[in-house]
Amino acid sequence: MEIDQCLLESLPIGQRQRLVRRMRCDQIRAYYEREKSLLRQQGGVKGRSASMHRKKPRVRFNQTDVIRDAIIRHDDKEVIRLLKEGTDRNTPTASGGSLLHLCARHDNVFAAELLIERGLNVNLQDEDLWTALHVACVCDHADVVLLLLLAGVNVLLQDVNGNIPLDYATEGTETRYILQKHLEENGVDVSSMHTMKMQRPNTMLSDVRQLVAAGGSVNQPGDDGVTLLHIACASGYREVVSLLLESGADPHPADNNFWTPLHLAAKYGQVTPCCTATSPFLQLIYSPFAQHNSRLVVSSDPAPSQNPLCPLICHLFPIHPSLRNPLGLSISKRDSLLEKCAMFRDAGGALSRQPSQDNGLDGPFSSGAGKLEQVKLMPPAPNDDLASLSELTDSSLLYEMQKRFCNDQIYTYIGHILLLVNPNKELPIYSTLVSQLYLSSTGRLCSSLPPHIFSSAERAYHMMLLERRPQCFILSGESGSGKSEACKHIVRHLTARSSPKGLALESRMKHVTLCERCFTHLLLKYEPRLMFLARLYTYMLEKSRLVHLSPQQHSFSIFYLMAEGMSPEEHSALYLNNVLTHRYVLVSLCLYNNESL
Ligand SMILES: Nc1ncnc2c1ncn2[C@@H]1O[C@H](COP(=O)(O)OP(=O)(O)OP(=O)(O)O)[C@@H](O)[C@H]1O
């Protein structure tokens, strides 16, 4: 369609636009027809359209990675699907453990049950010879422990340090109770096992004495370069180490995997700053350590353990073959050690420290130095943020909340909103130490910490700095749902944040609390019963009480305090010479006097 330019310009604007649009359409159609005929000529129509419709390349993850991820995310449907599709249930984890270890770590009982049903060996051990039961005990996942016991796990299997799962179950936990009961029911005497274990260093000590008395060499290495000093260091037998050094043991040589005795002591957690200062052995070998440090070579091929020391070592370590050759394990995957440290940390083992545990606003400022600070934070879980659930229905949300509540995980995120289910019991999650854990330099949620009110307080603090304007918390819920408590915890965290000891805000917050109390409608005679009642009510200014007072109700405390506490001059300045002239104070004053009798 060709139109004369002059004619086009003479048309009204709307008509001109319509005409131009039609011309453009004609052009495109013509172009398309020409392209099509060209392609037809080249016989490439098919090929072209096929290539045009070819799917974009998709990233495909290994089935084994997918199943691991599904277990961690508690995605039960995905686990079932993958197992049905034939994903290898014997897939190992990074530290040589099985999928059961992963289930135990992430408290995924459902997946664990599926795997056991499909015949996965419950006694599989990882590189450090941990079974899934060791993991479940460290993490205090009682349900997994029960499941493994029902599946017939061997509760006496020892890890590389000679520890059975019970050794990792914290005193007073459900896991420990279950395991102890199980051992008792099966006639295992836990205390004698413990005694035997305690005797191992003594046995080695007397064996080394005999060896020295018989003129044997304490430096004789095995085929894999392991000496007695390596073994004693790895096991932390201090007296044996001292005896060996006194008897001329050389602390320098590294074994075939380039591990010196000090490397081993460090690897198995036997080196501490205090022992460095006091132990002549460590003073002796710290200098070679500095030189040898750069020689730490990673090898995945452990040397065969044809060790001439074997008879002696077998005698020294009668319990598990691994202990006869602690170096027989592959070093390349020593990351498992870090993984286990993280487990202890997450499970609260490393968090059970000293001092204060104080949940009330009355004392968020006290250091509580004399009190034990018990901390038990749950490890982060996939359902920490409900917004990330794959299925979002009423029932799935309720199910997750219930599951978390039963685990004492009272806080849950929904994006940036924090959901709290009132536990109605004291939980050891509000101490100073926990508050410090949640301190962050950016205000971002820390993925290694579970949801917490301290985290929300921290975020508000950072938003205040970022936006340079006041922030506000909206605490919503029915009566008794825990709003006031939450408010206290927020104030507590922010107070602690204001300075390392919370001193800057301490006195001011005490004054605020005092003022708040003046405007409660409860009688605050400072006696325990009423203080307790005062805690149960929000300190909210109910303005209606100024104009209307129902029979048997008290007015604000501030009036009684003013009536009783002010000087005659102050009374007269405020026209309060005769308190009885004020009707609603008079009524409640009678009540006040009656109650305080
Ligand atoms: N995080 C918590 N941990 C332990 N107990 C809590 C927690 N939150 C609330 N409680 C318990 O529940 C009680 C009621 O909580 P709180 O007074 O905070 O509720 P509320 O929502 O402020 O109620 P109201 O709206 O009636 O003032 C508290 O006295 C306390 O015993």
| Cα 250 to Cα 263: distance, rounded to the nearest angstrom | 14
Range with the lowest mean pLDDT among 6-15, 282-291, 482-491, 577-586? Answer: 282-291
φ/ψ region of 537 (left if φ > 0, alpha if ψ in -120 to 50, else beta) reads beta
Percent pLDDT > 70 in the chain is: 64
Burial of 34 (0-12, 13-18, 19+ CB in 10 A): exposed
Same domain, 175 and 223: no
Residue range 75-91, pLDDT digits in tens: 888 999 999 888 888 88
Q: 421 C-alpha to center of ligand 1: Å?
A: 10
Same domain, 27 and 85: no
pLDDT at position 319, please? 34
423 lines ligand 1 (CB under 6 A): yes
Mean pLDDT across 193-199: 72
359 lines ligand 1 (CB under 6 A): no
pLDDT at position 519, please? 66
| Contact indicator for 292, 285 with CB cutoff of 8 Å | no
| Ligand 1 atom with least separation from CA of 537 | 27
Averaged confidence pLDDT in the chain: 72
* Reported confidence tier of residue 575, pLDDT bands at 50, 70, 90: confident
pLDDT higher than threshold 70 for residue 391: yes
pLDDT higher than threshold 50 for residue 374: no
User: Which residue has better confidence, 193 or 483?
Assistant: 483
pLDDT at position 589, please? 54
Mean pLDDT across 170-185: 84
pLDDT higher than threshold 60 for residue 420: yes
482 lines ligand 1 (CB under 6 A): yes
Q: Please report whether residue 597 resides in a domain.
A: no
* Reported confidence tier of residue 521, pLDDT bands at 50, 70, 90: low
Mean pLDDT across 222-243: 84
Q: Is ipTM strictly over 0.90?
A: yes
* Reported confidence tier of residue 545, pLDDT bands at 50, 70, 90: low
| Ligand 1 atom with least separation from CA of 538 | 27
Same domain, 242 and 269: yes
User: Which residue has better confidence, 450 or 276?
Assistant: 450
484 lines ligand 1 (CB under 6 A): yes
- Which of 277-286, 292-301, 449-458 holds the top average pLDDT? 449-458
Same domain, 391 and 530: yes
User: Which residue has better confidence, 166 or 93?
Assistant: 166
User: Which residue has better confidence, 290 or 244?
Assistant: 244
Measured by CA distance, the residue closest to atom 14 of ligand 1 is 480
| Cα 349 to Cα 169: distance, rounded to the nearest angstrom | 10
pLDDT at position 290, please? 36
Mean pLDDT across 552-567: 74
Same domain, 402 and 517: yes
Domain boundary among 282, 315, 347: 282
Range with the lowest mean pLDDT among 131-140, 285-294, 393-402? Answer: 285-294
pLDDT at position 100, please? 92
Domain count, the chain: 5
Q: Please report whether residue 54 resides in a domain.
A: no
Same domain, 435 and 508: yes
Q: 458 C-alpha to center of ligand 1: Å?
A: 21
| Contact indicator for 54, 74 with CB cutoff of 8 Å | no
Q: 482 C-alpha to center of ligand 1: Å?
A: 3
Same domain, 516 and 566: no
294 labelled ligand-binding: no
Q: Please report whether residue 58 resides in a domain.
A: no
Measured by CA distance, the residue closest to atom 30 of ligand 1 is 424
Q: 3 C-alpha to center of ligand 1: Å?
A: 80
| Contact indicator for 461, 497 with CB cutoff of 8 Å | yes
Name the residue of 454, 484, 532 whose CB sits within 8 Å of the most ligand 1 atoms, as the mutation to test its pocket.
484
Q: Please report whether residue 99 resides in a domain.
A: yes
Question: Helices then strands (H, E): number in the chain?
Answer: 30, 2
Same domain, 563 and 497: no
Please report which residue ranges of 476-578 form alpha helices under DSSP H: 483-498, 503-518, 528-536, 544-547, 557-565, 568-573
Q: Please report whether residue 81 resides in a domain.
A: yes
* Reported confidence tier of residue 436, pLDDT bands at 50, 70, 90: confident
pLDDT higher than threshold 90 for residue 421: yes
Mean pLDDT across 508-534: 55
User: Which residue has better confidence, 442 or 180?
Assistant: 180
Name the residue of 429, 485, 488 whose CB sits within 8 Å of the most ligand 1 atoms, as the mutation to test its pocket.
485
Residue range 263-275, pLDDT digits in tens: 777 766 665 333 4
- DSSP letter at 293 equals G
- Give one DSSP letter per residue of 202-267, joined into a string: HHHHHHHHHHHHTT--TT---TT---HHHHHHHHT-HHHHHHHHHTT--S----TTS--HHHHHHH
Measured by CA distance, the residue closest to atom 9 of ligand 1 is 482
478 labelled ligand-binding: yes
pLDDT higher than threshold 50 for residue 292: no
Q: Please report whether residue 334 resides in a domain.
A: no
Residue range 308-364, pLDDT digits in tens: 333 333 333 333 333 333 333 333 334 555 566 566 655 554 333 332 333 333 333
Domain boundary among 282, 310, 336: 282
Q: 405 C-alpha to center of ligand 1: Å?
A: 16
Mean pLDDT across 93-110: 87
pLDDT higher than threshold 60 for residue 68: yes
User: Which residue has better confidence, 463 or 521?
Assistant: 463
Range with the lowest mean pLDDT among 134-138, 292-296, 573-577, 585-589? Answer: 292-296
pLDDT higher than threshold 50 for residue 400: yes
Instruction: Identify the CATH number of the domain in which residue 129 sits.
Output: 1.25.40.20
480 lines ligand 1 (CB under 6 A): yes
* Reported confidence tier of residue 554, pLDDT bands at 50, 70, 90: low
pLDDT higher than threshold 80 for residue 491: yes
Same domain, 419 and 494: yes
Measured by CA distance, the residue closest to atom 23 of ligand 1 is 480
- Which of 159-163, 346-350, 425-429 holds the top average pLDDT? 425-429
483 lines ligand 1 (CB under 6 A): yes
- Domain extent for 270: 195-282
* Reported confidence tier of residue 536, pLDDT bands at 50, 70, 90: very low
pLDDT at position 341, please? 59
Q: 455 C-alpha to center of ligand 1: Å?
A: 19
User: Which residue has better confidence, 222 or 191?
Assistant: 222
pLDDT higher than threshold 80 for residue 593: no
Q: 362 C-alpha to center of ligand 1: Å?
A: 15
536 lines ligand 1 (CB under 6 A): yes
Same domain, 434 and 479: yes
| Ligand 1 atom with least separation from CA of 488 | 18
| Ligand 1 atom with least separation from CA of 485 | 18
User: Which residue has better confidence, 220 or 337?
Assistant: 220
Q: Please report whether residue 208 resides in a domain.
A: yes
Instruction: Identify the CATH number of the domain in which residue 433 sits.
Output: 3.40.850.10
| Contact indicator for 414, 400 with CB cutoff of 8 Å | no
Q: 431 C-alpha to center of ligand 1: Å?
A: 17
Range with the lowest mean pLDDT among 253-257, 547-551, 569-573? Answer: 547-551
Of 247, 238, 235, 236, the closest CA to residue 208 belongs to: 247
pLDDT at position 348, please? 52
Same domain, 564 and 483: no
Same domain, 142 and 181: yes
pLDDT at position 97, please? 86
- Give one DSSP letter per residue of 96-160, joined into a string: S--HHHHHHHTT-HHHHHHHHHTT--TT---TT---HHHHHHHTT-HHHHHHHHHTT--TT---T
Q: Please report whether residue 424 resides in a domain.
A: yes
Measured by CA distance, the residue closest to atom 27 of ligand 1 is 538
Q: 538 C-alpha to center of ligand 1: Å?
A: 9
* Reported confidence tier of residue 419, pLDDT bands at 50, 70, 90: very high
